[in-house]
Amino acid sequence: MRTICFYFQVHQPFRLKPYRFFEIGDDHDYWDDYSNRNIMNKVAKKCYLPMNQLLLELIRKHDGKFKVCFSLSGTVLDQMEAYAPEVLHSFQELVATGHVELLNETYGHSLCALKSETEFQDMVSLHQKKIQYHFNGYKPKVFRNTELIYSDDIGEMVAKMGFEGILSEGAKHVLGWKSPNFVYVNAKEPKLKVLLKNFRLSDDIAFRFGEKAWNEYPLTTDKFIGWLNQVPQEDEVINLFMDYETFGEHQWKETGIFEFMRNLPDSILHQTNFNFSSPSEVIANGSPVGQINVPTPISWADEERDLTAWLGNDLQDEAFDRLFELEKLVKRSNDPDIYRDWRYLQTSDHFYYMCTKFFSDGDIHAYFSPYESPYEAFINYMNVLSDFILRLKLAEKARG
Amino acid sequence: MKVLMFGWEFPPHISGGLGTACYGLVKGMEHHKQDLIFVVPKLWGDEDPLAEFVNASEIEIDYRERRFRDIWKSLTYLEVSSFLVPYLSPEEYHNHTERLLKDEDEIESSVLANKFSFSGKYGKDLILEVSRYALVAAQIAKDKKFDLIHAHDWLSFPAGIAAKKISGKPMIAHVHATEFDRSGQTVNQRVYDIEKAGMEAADKIIAVSQLTKNTIVTKYGIPEDKVTVVHNAVLDASIIKSNVVKKVPEKIVTFLGRITFQKGPEYFVEAAAKVLQKDDNVRFVMAGSGDLLNRMIQRVAELRIGTKFHFTGFLKGDDVDKMFALSDVYVMPSVSEPFGISPLEAVRHNTPVIISKQSGVAEVLQNAVKVDFWDIDAMADAIFALLHYNGISKMFKEMGREELKRLKWEHVAEKVIGIYKQTFNQ
């Protein structure tokens, strides 16, 4: 087997509105409806709709030989329902071709796997229900955790929930001399297969494609094919994992990213000995070469491929710990609004905005943050959280 | 007796506390029918007509007057290429100094033009405006009849000195703040020099607090008997009834001011953490902005008190009143505060206050808890006490109100007029 596995992450967070101290105790509506709607509509126009259309054409043209896989977070699905139903329809149309796999993740694009197994299970099953509801009873077999965060323990939890495989990052410090281009198994639960992102080839498309300072610029289909053909013959699978917003949003249409993708399947099928597989096909057809040991969590972010984009500085840790202290109260409340807000507050993006390590080369973080500084992000989040805690206490009191 | 007074700003167009204090004083002077010419760099036309105002921007300088050239020469120690300019980014600063070095002659000619339009702000041409202000003062001193000069803070000291030189009349320097209060230990030498020159040239000095007098004596080497303490007052001592409703169940403890070294914000944060260990039923609010804001946020996160310690950013107008009204305790932990009017505002809102012993206001407000700014245990203790022991807070509220009524600008003006007479007769 020699195959290429495309996986696209589709996600939007529910951004908080500017929430001032004076509003604590009074205003329980935290979400910036206006900007969430605007951003969803903008990304739909620039990315989701045109790229879905392109993929649909490619899948039809190659009659099943070209396939891709998506993970759609619960929050992005909620936003599509509310702001852009036509986007949801176009994803449904793609899945209906039978050549698009969907992954399971946490509903709220949450970091809960690092903190609470019960919440993790709840979030996964909520997401599963959401997928089943929107995609004609579809039941995902493969899991991807938020930000591709993975460790031996997380893998074990995921295996316990019955998944066959999980996606993660081919982090150098974990792989060492090993290649990401094989199927591995979890160190604690060998039933669970682990697919690792080939970060060089993935990031060539996702991050470097339109970068004029890159010495390989411009990236043409021929050049990419050339690189694929240089991959050692014994390597079995190239996992190209990236944000779906790469197409048209991170890499603008003007960079030629759509033309690149339009030509890529044909060229790969005719000029290389690779074909295309979905993650579950890779898992079913590939034979694992060994286990992968990941005692401390890895992710797909930044140079370090660790958790420091979301957790680790005092702002992030304070916010994260305070939020998860509330699990019992939230679950006792039995209030759907409280539940929903708690899930939305877990979204990793909120913690990403509080990251301070990028003061020097902050372009990527700054691009994604609605705040001027991590400190502002913290203040706003904590004000909201303070109100949320008051609501929980009131609900607790009301129940006596 | 007629007084020629030099200020830097006057309400409603103010950006510092100096304008408010000048307004109060002028109002008090009016009460005593004190004859007054009040000069400001720029008049906007909507000032309260309490005195004979002179707009320095409209004064034409007559260069046939040889003595003005001499004054300008004596002002060259105010070299415009100074490091005074506050709040400039490195690039702005570079451009600013570049321009100054290149165009020194041009600047001199613009300062020496017939007319000069002041911004009256604390902007990047501050030193330039201060020296031009002195020239204008010389012209005014030549044209107007008066018996005594009164200059407020270093910005108008060169004006006072120039007016004295031309007229030979006695001068009073009024010190509302010194460079040590503004900059801590890293004083700007030029500002210090101007302050010292003003204090030395003055026949008498008024300090807004004993604390400030001590600074004048020890740091500027001025003889003690030349300095008289006259505390500030409040414009309006009436109690402000607010219909703002608190929406959180907890009590609220507030810090309100610039978040800079001099205001001691870090002591407030540390004290808050101590209180929160004992008492969960309280929220702390740090209202304001400044160069230490991010460090404070960082510290709050480190201390893990982020759900009980809030930041509002810079507040203005109604929001300031609202904040005072919502507060159960107001804390001013200033490291160095010549006077400090905000605790008196808190009293007007019926909010008990804790102030540092290193503030001038501590000398006039008896019904307040006073702690050393660095003593976070005492501060935490006081916060806890005012939150829980209704007896003290009730007493502070009632008696604070009474005290406030005694802090009137007409009393201040009366004292100042006494100093005028004393100086005039010497």
- The count of CB pairs under 8 A between chains A and B is 65
Q: Which of A101, A147, A236, A281 does the annotation list as catalytic? A: A147
Q: What is the pLDDT of residue A157?
A: 97
Residues B324 and B370 in one domain: yes
Of A24, A26, A382, the CB nearest to B306: A382
What is the distance between the alpha carbons of residues B174 and B202, in angstroms, rounded to a whole number? 9
- Decide: A343 and A281 in contact? Cβ < 8 Å: no
Span B60-73, mean pLDDT? 74
Q: What is the pLDDT of residues B122-131, one digit of tens each?
A: 666 777 788 8
**B76 pLDDT band (50/70/90 cuts)?**
low
Residues B104 and B220 in one domain: yes
Q: Is A147 a catalytic residue?
A: yes
Distances (CA, A) of B266 to B292, B298, B300: 9, 11, 10
The tens place of each residue's pLDDT in chain A, 400 residues long, gives 699 999 999 999 999 999 989 899 999 999 999 999 999 999 999 999 999 999 999 999 999 899 999 999 999 999 999 999 999 999 999 999 999 999 999 999 999 999 999 999 999 999 999 999 999 999 999 999 999 999 999 999 999 999 999 999 999 999 999 999 999 999 999 999 999 999 999 999 999 999 999 999 999 999 999 999 999 999 999 999 999 999 999 999 999 999 999 999 999 999 999 999 999 999 999 899 999 999 999 999 888 899 999 999 999 999 999 999 999 999 999 899 999 999 999 999 999 999 887 665 445 556 678 888 888 899 899 999 999 999 999 999 988 7
Residues B268 and B162 in one domain: no
Q: Taking Cα atoms as reference points, which of B286, B281, B306, B258 lies closest to residue B388?
A: B281
Residues B15 and B31 in one domain: yes
- Closest-CA distance, B105 to chain A, in angstroms, reads 41
Q: What is the pLDDT of residues B181-203, one digit of tens each?
A: 887 768 888 889 999 999 999 99
Q: Do B312 and A386 touch (CB under 8 A)?
A: no
The sign of the dihedral angle between the CA atoms of B377, B383, B389, B395 is positive
Highest mean predicted confidence (pLDDT) among A284-298, A360-374, B84-98, B384-398: A284-298
Query: Is residue B322 within 8 angstroms of chain A, CB to CB?
Result: yes
Q: Do A375 and B297 touch (CB under 8 A)?
A: yes
* Domain presence at residue B245: no
Q: Taking Cα atoms as reference points, which of A283, A263, A201 lies closest to residue A62?
A: A263
| Three-state secondary structure readout of A107-150 | CCCECHHHCCHHHHHHHHHHHHHHHHHHCCCCCCCEEECHHHCE
Q: In this structure, what token pair is assigned to residue A202? A: 């993935």
Question: Among the residues of B339-389, which ranges form H helices?
Answer: 342-348, 376-388
**B89 pLDDT band (50/70/90 cuts)?**
very low
DSSP letter for each residue of B103-123 = THHHHHHHHTSS------SSS
Residues B277 and B370 in one domain: yes
Q: Which residue of A has its CA nearest to B307?
A: A386
DSSP structural state of residue B58:
G
* Domain presence at residue B240: no
Distances (CA, A) of A217 to A98, A214, A255, A335: 35, 5, 10, 53
| Domain extent for B415 | 2-233+409-425
- Decide: A252 and A17 in contact? Cβ < 8 Å: no
What value, to the nearest 5°, has the Cα angle with vertex B206 and ends B200 and B209?
120
CATH of the domain at B346: 3.40.50.2000
Q: Do B249 and A390 touch (CB under 8 A)?
A: yes
Residues B45 and B111 in one domain: yes
Q: Domains, chain A, ranges and CATH?
A: 3-292 (3.20.110.20), 314-399 (no CATH)
* Domain presence at residue B239: no
Residues B221 and B330 in one domain: no
* Domain presence at residue B53: yes
Q: In this structure, what token pair is assigned to residue A368? A: 């994604």
Statement: the pTM of the whole predicted model exceeds 0.90: no
Q: Do A22 and B297 touch (CB under 8 A)?
A: no
* A318 vs B contacts (CB less than 8 Å): 300-302, 304, 306
The number of folded domains in chain B is 2
What is the distance between the alpha carbons of residues A132 and A138, in angstroms, rounded to a whole number? 5
* B327 vs A contacts (CB less than 8 Å): none
Residues B146 and B272 in one domain: no
- Closest-CA distance, B374 to chain A, in angstroms, reads 24
Query: Is residue B304 within 8 angstroms of chain A, CB to CB?
Result: yes
What is the distance between the alpha carbons of residues B180 and B183, in angstroms, rounded to a whole number? 5
Q: What is the pLDDT of residue B124?
A: 63
- Decide: B230 and B412 in contact? Cβ < 8 Å: yes
Query: Is residue B192 within 8 angstroms of chain A, CB to CB?
Result: no
- Omega before A218 within 30 of 0, i.e. cis: yes
Q: Do B310 and A317 touch (CB under 8 A)?
A: no
Within B233-378, strands assigned E span 251-256, 282-287, 309-313, 329-332, 353-356, 369-371
What is the distance between the alpha carbons of residues B418 and B424, in angstroms, rounded to a whole number? 10
Q: In this structure, what token pair is assigned to residue A181? A: 């281009």
Query: Is residue B307 within 8 angstroms of chain A, CB to CB?
Result: yes
Q: What is the pLDDT of residue B107?
A: 52
Residues B311 and B355 in one domain: yes
Of B248, B283, B306, the CB nearest to A318: B306
Q: What is the pLDDT of residues B291-346, one digit of tens each?
A: 899 999 999 999 999 999 999 998 887 898 899 999 999 999 999 899 988 899 89
- Rounded to the nearest 5°, which phi and psi values hold at A147? 60, 25
Q: In this structure, what token pair is assigned to residue A138? A: 């579809």
* A390 vs B contacts (CB less than 8 Å): 248-249
* Domain presence at residue B195: yes
- Closest-CA distance, A359 to chain B, in angstroms, reads 13
Grouping H, G, I as helix, E, B as strand and the rest as coil, residue A1 is coil
* Domain presence at residue B246: no
Residues B39 and B127 in one domain: yes
Q: In this structure, what token pair is assigned to residue A136? A: 């004609």
User: What share of chain B has pLDDT > 70, as a percent?
Assistant: 87
* Domain presence at residue B330: yes
Residues B213 and B310 in one domain: no
Q: What is the pLDDT of residue A220?
A: 95
Residues B11 and B41 in one domain: yes
* Domain presence at residue B244: no
- Decide: B280 and B388 in contact? Cβ < 8 Å: no
**B93 pLDDT band (50/70/90 cuts)?**
very low
- Closest-CA distance, A274 to chain B, in angstroms, reads 51
